[in-house]
Chains A and B, each alone.
Chain A
Amino acid sequence: ATPNEPKDEL
């Protein structure tokens, strides 16, 4: 993930 990309895992 690039910085500030929404976190898609829990």
Chain B
Amino acid sequence: NAIRLAGDMSHMASFFVLLFKINKSKSVAGISLKTQELYVLVFCTRYVDIFWNHLSLYNSLMKVIFIALSVMIVYVMRRGVPQRSTYNPELDSFPHHWLVLPCVLLGVAINQDPTSPFEMAWAFSIYLEAVAIMPQLHMVQKHGEAENLTSHYIFLLGLYRVFYLVNWVYRYMTEDGYWQAIVWVSGAVQAVLYLDFFYNYVKSKQKD
């Protein structure tokens, strides 16, 4: 449906905005490497099924694109010259292990099929995605204010989440037996994390 497509497009746009920012400004200052690495982990654990689930060309292609773009961002942040010298690890100080560990436990404990390692990995990726933005939000708070493109990037990520939430309501109403408790709860948690950011984003845009 169109709402979900809008969600996917704003998600993809967020990658391009971030790549554009770090290529143009030659700087990754204010960008959380931890969040970006968590996203690589999210996509690699969620899209293992790319090898056996061929739902549509769209789905398979988007999976490859999401993995490739997230790996590319981490690559530029770690290896890019001069980008790698502009990274501030002292500001990127969120204790990310405390995000990954509970998500692993939750993924093993609560999933759609306790006998399937793929379902565990998939559930893990859903839980981790919900909280993966936290190191980035923490960094924005420590910095005081985010650069324009960085805030557009975070805004697009939050927008993607909002589109998906609306898409779930729409699917629940139009598709018989459509039920996705894990995804809905995690998605709602993820959206809540953006509320404070959204508030400040809109406020600063009004000021401009």
Classify the interface of chain A: helix, strand, loop or mixed: loop
Once the chains bind, are B59 and A10 in contact (CB under 8 Å)?
yes
- Any A CB within 8 A of the CB of B105: no
Known pairs A9-B4, A9-B183, A10-B8; A4 contacts B59 (CB<8 A) = no
Partner of B119, one of A3, A8, A9, A10: A3
Name the CB-closest residue of B to A8.
B55
B164: chain A residues within 8 A (beta carbon): 9
Q: Is B204 positioned at the interface, with any CB of A under 8 Å from its CB?
A: no
> B34 an interface residue at 8 Å Cβ cutoff?
no
Taking the closest CB of chain A, its distance from the CB of B161, in whole angstroms, is: 12
Q: Which of A1, A8, A9 has the most CB of B within 10 A?
A: A9
Chain B 27-69 residues near chain A, CB threshold 8 A: 46, 49, 53, 55, 59, 62-63, 66
B206 within 8 A of A: no
Contact A10 B66 (CB under 8 A): yes
> Which residues in window 149-167 of B have CB below 8 A to A?
164, 167
Q: Which residues of A contact B (CB under 8 A)?
A: 1-4, 6-10
List, sorted by A's number, 25 A–B pairs whose CB atoms are closer than 8 Å.
Answer: A1-B112, A1-B178, A1-B179, A1-B180, A3-B112, A3-B113, A3-B116, A4-B112, A4-B113, A4-B119, A6-B49, A6-B53, A6-B55, A7-B46, A7-B49, A7-B53, A7-B122, A8-B55, A8-B59, A9-B4, A9-B183, A10-B8, A10-B59, A10-B62, A10-B66
- 9 extra interchain contacts, Cβ-Cβ under 8 A, other than A3-B112, A4-B116, A9-B183? A1-B179, A3-B113, A3-B119, A7-B46, A7-B49, A7-B122, A9-B4, A9-B167, A10-B59
